[in-house]
Structure 1
Amino acid sequence: MKHKNALKTLKNARGQLEAVMKMIEEGRYCIDISKQILATISLLKKANVEVLNSHLETCVKSAVSSNNPEEVDVKIKELEEVIKYLNKIV
């Protein structure tokens, strides 16, 4: 499975998110909730990095190995779009 590590991280994030929702339902302290939300965001970012690294190691390497300039250009454009999006949310 190509994204095994990302899936594991996402499952951890799901568990973390469920815990955050329970904290809210229980009326827990706002700062404690916020810290747990930030921990969940961190897990989601980690999963994204794992997916992007996998993309580089598989899809991008395959495009480069194909010696097809158009395929390489597509992969570069895809990564440029992700980088642009990441810069918007930071």
Structure 2
Amino acid sequence: MNKEKENAVRALKTSKGQIEGIIKMIEDGRYCIDVSNQIVAASALLKKANMLILKQHLNNCVKEAFLHNNGEEKVNEIMELLSRINNK
């Protein structure tokens, strides 16, 4: 596993712990703003993990595809993903 994937896994595991904590906060009737702040923090970690995975994909998969004259398909995949990200 490369550096980007290791960092992504670390961020995902941290966000998993945060999400479990958020669930407990809701079950315990904690203040809504505190819950919302934790959701924002978990969302930021998920975004960070996604960016690390995309960086790895660009540096490896897409690069390799272009070296073998198959890059257009990878570019289309990235564009489709970016379209879904921007529509949120």
Show the 5 A alignment for 1:9-88: 9-66=11-68, 68=69, 71-88=70-87
Moved over 2 A (4+): none
1:36-55 deviation line (CA, Å, top 9, x unaligned):
00111111000000000000
CA–CA distance in structure 2, aligned partners of residues 81 and 9 of structure 1: 24
Q: TM-score with structure 2 length normalisation?
A: 0.93
- After superposition, the CA RMSD in angstroms is 0.8
Q: Percent identity?
A: 47
- Number of equivalences: 86
Q: Which residue of 2 aligns with 1:6?
A: 8
After superposing the two structures, state which structure 1 stretch, 25-34 or 2-11, moved more: 2-11
1:78: Cα distance to partner?
A: 0.3
- Provide the TM-score with structure 1 as the length reference: 0.91
Cα drift, residue 64 of structure 1 = 1.6
Paired amino acid for 1:81: E
**Which residue identity is paired with 1:15?**
G
